[in-house]
Amino acid sequence: MRGEVTLPGDKSIAHRAIILSSLANAKTIVRNFPLNEDSLATIAAFRKLGIKIALNKASYCAVVHGKKLYGLRKPGSGVYIKESGTTFRLLLGVLAGQPFKAKLCAGLSLSRRPMLRVIEPLRLMGAKISARSQNYPPVTIVGNNLKGITYKLPVASAQVKSAILLAGLFANGSTRVIEPVKARDHTERMLKLFKADLKIKGSSVIVKGQKELVSPGPIYIPSDISSAAFFMVAASIIPDSKVLIKNVSLNPGRLGVINALKRMGAKLTVKKSKLNYKGNEPMGDIEIKSSVLAAIRIRKNDIPSLIDELPVLMVAASLAKGTSVFEGVSELRVKETDRIKSMLTNLTKMDANIKVVRSRGQENIIIKGVNELHGAKVKSFGDHRTAMSMLVAGLAAFGETSIDDISCINKSFPNFLETINKLI
């Protein structure tokens, strides 16, 4: 693999940009907007709620005409979120403070994912919420006059934190979220950019409600580091590779994959981006070359900073020298699919030495590196990150690898195949 690429904008940041732009006082221009299914689901949801959003797909630019905090319109029917868990959970936070009733519906996979972690704190703030089996989409929410609360997250979750902070924009008084482990802070950074009354004190994030948001005008979305992870691992394990990935988000809460690969001995360098951009998110270029990787131990506290990158890191560990341990990975079971099952099944077919063990009440993945993987017939399990991870594994393996269905990749990276083929 050789060459340089610019990847789509970070969808975690893109979701938040559309949400806060819709709640702001004026027009906001969002540049390098990613055209994946999840990000487009957020645009569709806010259009349904009465926000005018113009999207130029040729220039990757979205123009959002904000209507202030209480400018959303009651939808005439259910708001369909497709499979975007981030859109669903964050929108619950926004709708908790609106003076109307709304129903959020989801696709088949997302309808099997639990929502109670978000529903419980929003109920404490005063929202009236009902869900299928008390936990699963569809979810009906009746907005209310919210009150600020102090809420300690039971587990680190950027989505739950974000939903509570967004609800806090509408609440009387202050809302404080206490994190057990610092999760990614895209929402806090974006709230500051939009002039929200927000403070960070140690492990607490505090937002004061009832203050209107101010549009910053233009926003640039850096490239998604989760997408970049597939190229970083591929370039590390495929011989004679050298790849430059441009304008990547370097949010401190998302650097887990870079730190993990460096600890494994990857020849990885972060450089200053040449793009003239001043924004709320740090950004840079990542150069990575072929490496001889060594085993790694990833602790439970490391997981929040690289949860989305764990599948492709399992591929890297399968070809690393020594035995790698990924601790406390149970959260992987409640993603688009059970990613522990999908990666264990697929990598075992490719002759990786991988197993799952339980120790002290937590699940750990143990991977003993092998000299080579072998091509096999594998499955995506309908999960975009599993599919892309297995494509990377297939590139590094001896023999042919076939994957049953890769349409799920459109969820986050529609032109993944086209991009990776440019480097081969």
Task: Give the active site residues.
Answer: 308
Residue 113 exposed, middle or buried by CB count within 10 Å (0-12, 13-18, 19+): middle
Other CB atoms within a 10 A radius of the CB of residue 251 amount to 21
Pair of tokens at residue 119: 């529903």
CA angle, corner 51, sides to 48 and 55, nearest 5?
95
Phi/psi zone of residue 50: left (φ > 0), alpha (ψ -120 to 50 degrees), beta?
A: left
The answer to whether 33 touches 55, Cβ cutoff 8 Å, is: yes
**SS3 helix, strand, coil % of the chain, rounded to 5?**
35, 25, 40
Q: Which of 411, 414, 367, 365 is nearest to 87 (CA)?
A: 411
Other CB atoms within a 10 A radius of the CB of residue 394 amount to 20
CA angle, corner 242, sides to 400 and 237, nearest 5?
40
Dmax (CA) for the chain in angstroms is 62
Q: Which helix (H) or strand (E) holds 175?
A: strand 174-178
Pair of tokens at residue 411: 């969820």
3-state secondary structure 64-125: EECCCCCCCCCCCCCEECCCCHHHHHHHHHHHCCCCCEEEEECCCCHHHCCCHHHHHHHHHH
Pair of tokens at residue 348: 């075992």
How far is 326 from 127, CA to CA, in rounded Å?
38
Q: Return phi, psi of residue 224, to 5°.
A: -75, 120
How far is 342 from 365, CA to CA, in rounded Å?
13
Instruction: State the residue for tokens 């599919």.
Output: 387
For the chain, the distance separating the N- and C-terminal CA atoms, rounded to the nearest angstrom, is 5
The answer to whether 222 touches 248, Cβ cutoff 8 Å, is: yes
The answer to whether 185 touches 208, Cβ cutoff 8 Å, is: no
